[in-house]
Every structure is written in C-alpha cells, then in structure tokens.
C-alpha cells in the first residue's frame, strides 16, 4: 500500500472536475492508474474516511476530497473519531 499514491490521487481528484468525473464513472480504472492496491480501491470506493486517514492520507487532503464528493461531514467526523479512538462530545455529555 502506498499512502503517497493515495494522497496524489485524491489531490488530483479534488483539483480537477474532469478527473473527479472520470473517477466517478470508473473508480477502479482510475485507481489502477495510480497503482492502488485492491484493498485501497475498495476502501476508497466505500468512502471509509477513517481507514484512509489511519493509512496515511493527509487530513487536509482527505477533507478536501470529502468536500469534492459532497460527503456528509457528520459521517466524516464520526468515522475519523471511531478510527482514532476519539470520543465525540455528544456521547461524552450524556
């Protein structure tokens, strides 16, 4: 697995509407162009943001990718909290 390849690909996707459209049409082909492993491809397609973060995607790049694909930010934060073992304020207030 290559965190560098993941980071480069995600930057390309959020910088270019054309690249993002190609990815949305055929994510496996685009991911293969960057040399991503089968697991990385599947985790990326599933938008497993916590996994991507814990496997080396830079937080700035990850959040920009989430914005580009219009990912729900509440879900994004929850996935990162779960992946890093952090507790949300909502669950600690009860």
Nearest to 18 by CA among 6, 7, 30: 30
d(CA 60, CA 88): 20
Residue 58 pLDDT level (bands cut at 50, 70, 90): very high
The DSSP secondary-structure symbol of 23 reads H
pLDDT above 70: residue 7: yes
pLDDT above 60: residue 93: no
* Residue pair 74/42 in contact by the 8 Å Cβ criterion: no
This prediction's pTM: 0.85
Residue 86 pLDDT level (bands cut at 50, 70, 90): confident
pLDDT above 70: residue 30: yes
Mean local confidence (pLDDT), 8-33 = 95
Other CB atoms within 10 A of residue 63 CB: 19
């Amino acid at each position: 697995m290559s965190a560098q390849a993941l980071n480069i690909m995600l930057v390309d996707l959020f910088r270019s509407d054309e690249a993002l459209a190609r990815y949305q049409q055929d994510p496996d082909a685009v991911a293969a162009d960057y040399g991503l492993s089968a697991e990385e491809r599947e985790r990326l397609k599933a938008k497993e943001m916590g996994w991507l973060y814990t496997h080396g995607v830079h937080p700035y790049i990850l959040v920009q990718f989430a914005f580009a694909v219009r990912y729900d930010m509440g879900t994004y934060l929850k996935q990162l909290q779960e992946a890093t073992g952090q507790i949300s304020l909502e669950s600690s207030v009860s």
